[in-house]
Structure 1
């Protein structure tokens, strides 16, 4: 297979490997409709992946001979077996040729498993270790192949004990334990900076020497985040290679890992270092119980666990009480933030976790907070902004309802009353929806309609609470692609706010931001400007803790002005937002603004700079957030458009197919974003002169677009334009003229539309041929 072909197949293969079997087959069928040859090649590669997974289950040799003490491997003489795992053995060894006297940890490929694919994994570990040079990471000293073909890695031998044993045996104070843990953070952060995720962080892989120096070990199942070259063995095939007790929820679910997977595992280690116990107390300690706990059980606060004995009884000793008081508050919040079930709720990076611990040691305010109901509800909206397009499990929704209904009781009486009103409302909503019935799955839209109705009725005496609720439902509606419904909700919310004597500035600005966002999505750019421009002065009056809201306003305002055809000052808006998001470690927001700046380059006709910007935003997103994100779709679509404008149809098609697979997964097949990607792929068919196939696909697509966005939307015009071009190429002049004329009419009414010029050209062309 040539390099160019692999470049097309590789991203599609990555997406397919991350899907469950049913979703994978569905996407393959979609790809087959676009490019049968490409789909066939992908099926072959998937079959190879499955075959590669199978070979690990059977030994290749019967009872292979185990190495013995005194055996020579390369220049090293093995002395004592230190440990063994599924892939290799680790021996304490020394140089036999007298070159130096240092002891080494010699890692050998397990006898009987020297298959070429396993050698590739072994080589991958060598490549990873060769990238790393940090005082807190055990160094790679040498690598080679012995005289009998035995691959080996010679690593720095660390004479130490696990970090938890070290803390216990030395009776370290809480502050000293934190400082020791910060060394671990430095090591993991160095690995992440070199695009490496460890994936198996646990106390036994974190040793502390007699001088108090940390060494991070065992990168045997680490994952490379970059795509410098294709890896023959996909990380998802390494079933249960990690240690379950320290695994993140996404590892248990078999989902792709990111740097935030390591953040979770570090949270478990930090929990043990501080509290002396694991986050979950289980009765039977089975794998099934552990999986359930990791996926669904909220861990106890470390301050609470630190007062429990091994048997689960309360430890009332003065020392236990002192430790609990020391952990209570900031340290509880920091640990629990790292242990959040959803990656986006954790610290965005190991550096962010480390900085919060340092802030705590310095007596400064930390970023982690005990979340209020409003914060938890907002996070729920963000977490499910695309998954809500399908259906939601009733039990999951009930759990969320209970979580967001807890009032902190630390606010003023007015805040408490509003929180209580929201609590009663949410619990009642879910109870009456019948969500407690086993196996009951209901449509998210029906729940939102019920929420609106009950909110109007039961929160009528709490206008601020009702306004907040309508804002939440608005964001859910946007996530579902229900833009018109969302607009109606916002208009009702703004009427409520207008009735209040002193509405919170943050809520006002958030309402304006969402209003502008919806108007932009509906292609009503001039109205978007009318709504957002007067609110720009509000930003400077916001309290400092609302940096995320300020950044969101600046970003949405910049996009509104771009769609309206304005240029002056837009870049500065995105750069201000980017600086704010970097400061608060909003990595998804950083990627979003990098993408905004790349679009600026595209608007100025600087295609090379735009492509570099798209790639930079995509790399940041993959590193810090993951691939299954709506922004990934937007960036890939822009890349596909750019390739198409250059005449590179193969690259455009491959990129858009990748975007379609992700869009279908995160949005659903009938979301406006997914429809837009499908329309671009139909346009690719016209570029390839496959007009009959394009005509078959555009008809249902046009109907879905009208149903989703209405007849006056820019995307509807694009669908009509595509249908008109197909009709023109097939000689159906009357149909072509009607469709292209309607597209031009739509775009004339869309202020700032960038499609009008092309539409007029196409319409002129059909008039010329008529």
Structure 2
């Protein structure tokens, strides 16, 4: 194997070795799809690694003599083997001398671990350890050496399972894991108060009972095994009296052990409870590499490890939720406990526990400097509904920037760019917060300031600046500021057009964002022209850039749907659904979006039953896998209302509409496009019910907000003009009706929204016919008929409605006979 080939294999192998079994299998599948021969080589190397991984795992001490049930060790009779490790065996035993009846966990130490002074030290230390009376500590009841020189330790027998096994079986939430861990902290803190350090904290020494109570084992055992005058963390045989994977750096260096050694081990345990893996994962599993990793390698944030596919068997959606819960404060707490230098850790277990309790209570933790942006974030989470939407979006900006940084870890240049952007965002928020004097931040001003500051600070990093523009543009789109977003995306496109070596993921994301903005501005043809050239790249990079590819397919499909190109839209929506639902890490929100997109095609072609069934399925998945108050629920409820209204199920339609409006108001406020859509929909229901005055008030209010936000020539503005025309006609004001409907038709013609144009033409012709102006109505109906036949087919009900009205017009125009021709 030449050096170049090994340089390609080595990093891929290292990445696989860091994954748990399910994630590793998924990653290998991805390699097979791209390069089957390369995947075969990786599998062979993994097999070789597994064969030799445990070569140095066992300590070089004498084996225990053969033990069997019924054998007596000191005053205890063995019942059954509970477990075996490097230091010996653990048996379930009972008192056999009749002094009292009690079952114990009897730990039998390997003979090589005993020394001539062990009996004396057992007697002395037994008295010290007897002080450890705590509900979460399994007491050391007895310690001695039997007549045949077998060292033993008798502890409370705890019928439980290791805390990691319990979490794997029960899959509790993050808060429940932290509360369970606080029981451990309480026990260790009690021991420290009695001047006892555990020295070997690990999951197998932390059992959880059937009542979900924690019991700690083996307190003081390592201390019992210390030989005076020797290195404090090794026995006379040179075997470690601690477990390597949970050892603190100072233990490996042979330095004095303190209470902060236990703080470090607790940090390792908490990391494993949260992330499902240990904080140090060397590429090779030898003891030497484990030691080097513990001494020199800083652990990744547990939330990041979860996002990359760890999680100890968790379902992807649950893993992502847990990663979001851990990100930020819990990451900081865990990494503080895992600091390499003892003086940089928490000064005590109680200080560690205090920060965890503060996290549970939603209060700021003590483990980091409290920057203004951090305090604002904590306040938002504690007072979620009392804070302005501007502050929420300010924190969304930070989250988006962090997401960008995670995408940029593949090379040193990208990592530097990501760090520059993180520093930029933190500085921006601090500056904006200081300038606000405590008043709510105006998010749009904040975003404008972000662009200005990015232009200055990222002037020599064009790709980073382009990424920043994309983040802020997406936030603008979320706010409904479609025109401002497009202006920023045009600037991004200009940068990327000249930037060398633009990452493919950024190119796809930029095209999707620009196409989305153009479509929202009623320019579906331009949207397709923007995205179509990138479709080949998306297809080529699906395996590695599935999220970006699915997003491009989604927005391209929606633009084609708007232009009644239903077959092409269906292919794109199905491809997006497959990538989102069937990926290595399923995208639940994206899956719901794609299901809704497919349902919308049934609606567009007039199949209301299938459209409603598809929408209900999307809503059910959203509620089961995500959250009933997810922003996607607003659009789904709006769609459901429209379908029920079309099916003449007025009461159900109004219930869905009001649910969607209430959620839109709670999530977005009064001025957001989603809220305006819901208000327009409710007004349309008022029209159906004959409540014209209420409907007109709602429509006119929505018209003002929509023009201010999207401009007077937007397709959404045309929809409101169309609705106002219907209201005016129902009130008998034909002139006002025609004026409003004419404005709607003019806008729809300009924007190319053919599906809406047919509706507007039909409504315009209906009013003209009622006003006795059949000759003006006839060409409008012929155009509407052509559009509806092309869109729905000849047998559709809307085509029939158009033919009936056309028949009435022809009849009115027939000379003398009264018959249509």
Question: 1:486–1:518: 8 Å Cα contact kept in structure 2?
Answer: yes
Deviations 1:517-560 (A, max 9, x none): 11111121111111111110111332733221121112122112
Q: Equivalent residues in 2 for 1:208-223 (5 A)?
A: none
Q: Compute the displacement of 1:181 (Å).
A: 3.9
User: Separation in 2 of the partners of 1:491 and 1:590?
Assistant: 29
> Cα 1:306–1:438, aligned 2, differ >3 Å: closer, same or farther?
farther
1:622 is aligned to 623
> Cα 1:306–1:641, aligned 2, differ >3 Å: closer, same or farther?
farther
- TM-score, with structure 1 as normaliser: 0.55
Question: 1:555–1:573: 8 Å Cα contact kept in structure 2?
Answer: yes
Moved more, 534-543 or 630-639: 534-543
User: Separation in 2 of the partners of 1:642 and 1:320?
Assistant: 53
> Cα 1:275–1:512, aligned 2, differ >3 Å: closer, same or farther?
farther
Corresponding position: 1:719 with 2:720: yes
Q: Equivalent residues in 2 for 1:275-674 (5 A)?
A: 313-315=260-262, 327-329=278-280, 336=303, 350-352=314-316, 390-392=389-391, 412-435=411-434, 439-542=438-541, 544-582=543-581, 583=583, 584-674=585-675
Q: Compute the displacement of 1:585 (Å).
A: 1.9
User: Separation in 2 of the partners of 1:725 and 1:510?
Assistant: 40
1:742 is aligned to 743
Q: Compute the displacement of 1:640 (Å).
A: 0.8
Give unpaired runs (5+ residues) of structure 2. Answer: 1-134, 140-154, 186-200, 209-244, 283-298, 321-333, 336-373, 772-821
User: Separation in 2 of the partners of 1:596 and 1:752?
Assistant: 18
Q: Compute the displacement of 1:202 (Å).
A: 6.2
Give unpaired runs (5+ residues) of structure 1. Answer: 1-161, 189-197, 207-242, 247-270, 279-301, 357-369, 372-376
Q: Compute the displacement of 1:396 (Å).
A: 5.8
Q: Compute the displacement of 1:618 (Å).
A: 0.1
- TM-score, with structure 2 as normaliser: 0.51
User: Separation in 2 of the partners of 1:756 and 1:634?
Assistant: 22
> Cα 1:485–1:337, aligned 2, differ >3 Å: closer, same or farther?
same
> Cα 1:306–1:691, aligned 2, differ >3 Å: closer, same or farther?
farther
> Cα 1:594–1:329, aligned 2, differ >3 Å: closer, same or farther?
farther
Question: 2:136–2:183: 8 Å Cα contact kept in structure 1?
Answer: no
The structure whose Rg is larger is 2
Q: Compute the displacement of 1:741 (Å).
A: 0.6
Question: 1:706–1:716: 8 Å Cα contact kept in structure 2?
Answer: yes
Q: Equivalent residues in 2 for 1:32-51 (5 A)?
A: none
Question: 1:394–1:440: 8 Å Cα contact kept in structure 2?
Answer: no
User: Separation in 1 of the partners of 2:674 and 2:436?
Assistant: 34
User: Separation in 1 of the partners of 2:686 and 2:769?
Assistant: 24
2:48 is aligned to none
Equivalent position SS for 1:336 = helix
Q: Compute the displacement of 1:182 (Å).
A: 3.2
> Cα 1:760–1:404, aligned 2, differ >3 Å: closer, same or farther?
closer
Q: Compute the displacement of 1:635 (Å).
A: 1.1
User: Separation in 2 of the partners of 1:720 and 1:244?
Assistant: 64
Equivalent position SS for 1:741 = helix
Question: 2:250–2:257: 8 Å Cα contact kept in structure 1?
Answer: no
User: Separation in 1 of the partners of 2:586 and 2:312?
Assistant: 6
1:87 is aligned to none
Deviations 1:376-407 (A, max 9, x none): x9xx9xx99x9998320799689869978999
Question: 1:682–1:698: 8 Å Cα contact kept in structure 2?
Answer: yes
1:707 is aligned to 708
Among 161, 164, 183, the alignment partner of 2:169 is: 183
Deviations 1:57-98 (A, max 9, x none): xxxxxxxxxxxxxxxxxxxxxxxxxxxxxxxxxxxxxxxxxx
Equivalent position SS for 2:441 = strand
Question: 1:656–1:681: 8 Å Cα contact kept in structure 2?
Answer: yes
> Cα 1:182–1:531, aligned 2, differ >3 Å: closer, same or farther?
same
Deviations 1:547-606 (A, max 9, x none): 211211121221121112202232232222222212222111111111111112222322
Question: 1:349–1:624: 8 Å Cα contact kept in structure 2?
Answer: no
2:691 is aligned to 690
Question: 2:509–2:552: 8 Å Cα contact kept in structure 1?
Answer: yes
